[in-house]
Chain A
Amino acid sequence: MVLEGLLWGIAALLGTGAAAVAMARRRTATALVYGISLCVTTVALLAAGASLVAPASLGGTLTLPVGLPWLGAHFRLDPLAAFFLVVVNLGGAAASLFGLGYGRHEESPGRVLPFFPAFLAGMNLVLLAADAFTFLFAWEFMSLSSWALVMAHHRRPGNAAAGYLYLLMASFGTLALVLAFGLLAGPSGGYAFEVIRQAPPPAAVAAAVLVLALIGAGSKAGLVPLHVWLPLAHPAAPSHVSALMSGVMTKVAVYGFVRIVFDLLGPPDWWWGAVVPLLGGVTAVMGVLYALMEHDLKRLLAYHTVENIGIIFIGLGLALAFEANAMPAAAALALTAALLHVFNHSVFKSLLFFGAGAVLGATGERDMERLGGLVHRMPLTAFAFLVGCAAISALPPFNGFVSEWLTFQAILLSPALPQWLLKFLIPAVGALLALSAALAAACFVKAFGITFLGRARTQVAREAVETDRWSLAAMFPLAALCLLAGILPGYFIDALAPVIHALTGANLPRQNELDWLTIVPIAQSRSSYNGLLLFLFIALAAGLGAEVIHRWASAASRRAAPWDCGFPDASPITQYTAGSFSQPIRRVFGTVVFRAREEVDIPAPGDARAARLHVQLRDVPWDALYLPTARLVSYVAERLNRMQFLTIRGYLTLVFGALVTLLMVLSIWQ
């Protein structure tokens, strides 16, 4: 049984974590922990992948006598879980492989090693859980183990605050999920998913559950405005854990949303299809704009996760809109787009975080303004990172483009929707998606260009050395996967078919039997895309061009000083920096989105002081939502604080008053 095997794997991970507590000080612990994690996740990846391709092994259920006494712990392996298991364990295996090399430089392995396998186990457990209690337990376990990993370097400035904010937001999200499951279970209290599925809640309750699921899963995934913790917490962890948190844990959150809204909640209402895509569109644009303003490489990547979560939620929301209007084929397309983006994002985001980790390991720097020229010192890392950048910027022939293309195709089906609001709203969301895709390209030109190209800005960047073999071994398969999923998307779409069928009742046409491996979501006359042909054509045209030119024209070249319009400056600080690269975009969008203020401080003539440019960016959701909330909480807490210092008479009056109030409530209730 696949399910039992997976549970044994989770147990093995937990055991490894426990054992790591005891032996973290040993030198071999690092290799052992990551080695075991690598083995377990690889096996789980293969098992889940096989069960997705051959769905005969799916559908097993298992009840263990742990957890709540009257409930037990239910586990089930269905297509949705199997797909997300593939995502989690692929990311997990890659992170373990990376950790084999990267983890050796860890200054405090005792704070990382026990929690790393526990974190992996928690994520796997969320996917297999088939009752509310197990789900929430696993969810919270995942949150806490990742929190511990965020706090691994808690002495570094900012990390403790990031961990605190993460803990707060994670508890808040779990609270929302507890309430959502409470509403789903209803007064009878059937917490097993099987029971919930059979009794969908009435419309008003379903709406409340949707909102709670958006808050609960959205806060973990990073939907704006619940994203604030993410760019602080993800980069604070060691890089392979950052990759797991950004590339994989956010996907577990997406899984939570899909499980609740698509599986348990019954048929959707049409306005869900307005709220979710709009949130997704705003999240996508805000996320990429935040990322553009950032010059900390890891934080840039974390902000960019917010953008991709937005794209995924656009797809999910479209699927809801189509499903509410009984258009299963269109819903299948939108859901395929969303889930394919889940897979793609987990691949390239892990790859990019590994690249950032390799840079961090080689230079000790995360700040792009202090890097540069690394392409000469770390050519292999640079190449892998470049592939990741191209893929995440949705450039053909890589994989990011395929899922965004499918999302666009789903958006183009929106005029068939009967609701006027959706007819108008969804093309506007399409505009937001197009904007975010274009900005993403700018963002990653900056990320790669400033970090790896140009001239080294500091001594550490000048002396960087290529990263170790384990790390490269983790990056290159992911880079290959970016290309492979881009040029052969048909196979990946077909592998998703059982998931889509289980959730929407429809399927895309089978893709891998079409000529030349083209993908055709609806009909050939409507739209088609063939990444393989494009890739071959580009490779052929470039190769042919190079061959012809080198043979018939000129192949001579020589090195000289840069031209730079006649005024090359030897100092690397005259290069464009991350800040100056994004300055035009800051000018265009920043004044509205970030309330950016620029002040030029030019000293008076004769004053030898340097001129300065002050830029001030505000985080609007933080100012408008979080600061007032924090102020309110502290205000209320201060008021309530007085209750600690009442006299005995005061306490007695309070108890009496409470009793009377409760009795009155009870009498009114009946």
Chain B
Amino acid sequence: MAVILDAIVQLGEMLVVLVLAPLLAGYVRTLKARLLGRRGPPLVQPYRDLLRLLRKEVVLAHGASWVFRVAPYLVFATTWVAAALVPTFATGLLFNYAADMIAIVALLGSARFMLALAGLDVGTSFGGIGSSREMMIASLAEPAMLMVVFTLSLLAGSTQLSSIAAFMQGPDVGLRVSLALALVALVMVAIAENARIPVDNPATHLELTMVHEAMILEYSGRHLALIEAASYVKLLLYVSVIACAFAPWGIAVSGQGFAAYLLGLAAYVAKLAAGGFLLAVFETSIAKMRVFRVPDFLGAALMLGLLATLLLFVSRVT
């Protein structure tokens, strides 16, 4: 019986992730528009976009192979699975143990791998430019992310996000320099990985500086819908990881009962709102940087991550 309940909660989490992801994207979009003095689209615009795209036919370029057609499904599935394994409103879910934080980072790597290949598949120069730059960004962002994972897991003695969340709520966390550095590094990685300003611009087309959008330029219809959905889920995933590791307050522990889950859900939505707000403010207050400044930005993230790990050994808990 307990297993069935756990399975239901796990399933519920997967659905919550999927349902909330476009809302978060729409929320950030609206908020950015307001901050710029525009009215902006309604909150539900991303849902409408997805539905519209799903109903449209796919226009495949001549020369697109099966890789191009399979990639959106795999990208979406991989990203979704990765997001479902991050504790959002409750920790210790049925399948949380199937992947620790390193595996989640690697799952996102799998999604990126497929997408970068799809970018090269049609054989256009924009696809190539997107894939090439995406892999360059990833080659720095992924190690930076792993250094953040190192810091957290050396502190908590575990690479499981559930254990990390439990540790961060516990009494022996303390205020550490390492954690601050790791948080900064993680935010920088999240910005780069989600193709946000200043690394990339999610709202742009027809720009020589675009990265993610260039890679998926040839996509249309349901394929594009899946890729868009995957990128929404990815944004949600990163906010969830930050919330779970650095602000685990209110998160329910598996088996605590319905009330705790509801409270966890409310706390989670509040955290998403706060995260989205901060992202919108940050994005409107900064200019996009040139592509070849991005390595400096991510190199800094990598160094911060490494420093956070090393400082663990010399810093003292206050």
Q: Report which A residues bind B (CB closer than 8 A).
A: 372-373, 375-376, 379, 386, 390, 393-396, 401, 405, 408-409, 411-412, 415, 420, 423-424, 427-428, 430-431, 434-435, 437-439, 441-442, 444-446, 448-450, 453-455, 516, 518, 524-530, 533-534, 537-542, 545-546, 549, 553-554, 556-565, 568-569, 572, 574-576, 580-585, 587-588
Contact = CB atoms under 8 A, between A and B. Distances in A.
B106 A401 contact: yes
Contacts of B257: none
Contact of B54 (A415, A540, A549, A581): A549
Given A405-B106, A560-B59, 20 more contacts: A396-B107, A401-B103, A408-B102, A424-B310, A428-B306, A430-B146, A431-B143, A435-B139, A438-B140, A441-B113, A448-B117, A453-B67, A453-B123, A526-B157, A528-B98, A534-B107, A538-B81, A540-B77, A554-B54, A564-B125
Interface stretch (B24-32, B214-222, B273-281): B214-222
Contact of B63 (A449, A554, A557, A562): A562
B150 A430 contact: yes
6 contacts: A396-B99, A431-B306, A445-B131, A527-B102, A542-B74, A585-B139
B99 A529 contact: yes
Contacts of A563: 59, 61, 124, 217-218
A648 B143 CA distance: 68
B154 A585 contact: no
Nearest to B145: A434
Interface string B63-79: 10111000001101110
The 9 A-B residue pairs whose C-beta atoms are closest, nearest first, are: A576-B128, A454-B123, A449-B120, A541-B77, A434-B143, A442-B135, A542-B77, A584-B136, A562-B61
B127 to A, nearest CB: 7
Nearest to B50: A553
Contacts of A564: 122, 124-127, 217-218
B240 interface: no
Interface string B166-179: 00000000000000
B120 to A, nearest CB: 4
A395 B110 contact: yes
A576 B124 CA distance: 7
A405 B110 contact: no
Nearest to B303: A431
A556 B58 contact: yes
Nearest to A574: B125
B306 A576 contact: no
Contacts of B292: 584, 587
Contact of A454 (B62, B120, B309): B120
B157 A581 contact: no
A564 B210 CA distance: 13
A420 B222 CA distance: 55
Interface in B289-318: 291-292, 295, 302, 305-306, 309-310, 312-313
A537 B81 contact: yes
B45 interface: no
A427 B61 contact: no
A558 B56 CA distance: 11
Contacts of B80: 541
B132 A527 contact: no
B163 A526 contact: yes
A437 B136 CA distance: 13
A412 B121 CA distance: 38
Nearest to A420: B313
B256 to A, nearest CB: 18
Contacts of A580: 128, 132
A423 to B, nearest CB: 5
A541 B218 contact: no
A570 to B, nearest CB: 10
Interface string B88-112: 0000000101111011001101101
Contacts, number: 284
Nearest to B305: A431
A499 B125 CA distance: 51
A332 to B, nearest CB: 18
Contacts of B61: 559-563
A387 B303 CA distance: 33
A120 B104 CA distance: 40
A395 B106 contact: yes
Contacts of A390: 110, 113
B76 A528 contact: no
B302 A431 contact: yes
A522 to B, nearest CB: 9
A290 to B, nearest CB: 15
Interface string B46-59: 00000000111111
B142 to A, nearest CB: 4
Contacts of A561: 61-62
B284 interface: no
A627 B300 CA distance: 36
B136 to A, nearest CB: 4
B2 interface: no
B147 A584 contact: no
B56 to A, nearest CB: 6
B194 interface: no
Contacts of A524: 97
B226 A545 contact: yes
B302 to A, nearest CB: 7
Contacts of A420: 313
B133 interface: yes
Given A409-B159, A428-B306, A396 B217 contact: no
Nearest to B306: A431
Contact of A529 (B55, B103, B126, B312): B103
Contacts of A430: 146-147, 150, 309
A148 B220 CA distance: 54
B59 A442 contact: no
Contacts of A394: 106, 109
Contacts of B305: 431
B272 interface: no
A411 B132 CA distance: 30
A545 B18 CA distance: 12
A220 B131 CA distance: 35
A429 to B, nearest CB: 11
A345 B313 CA distance: 34
B208 to A, nearest CB: 10
B129 interface: yes
Given A428-B306, A431-B302, A518 B98 contact: yes
A588 B310 CA distance: 24
B289 to A, nearest CB: 14
B116 interface: yes
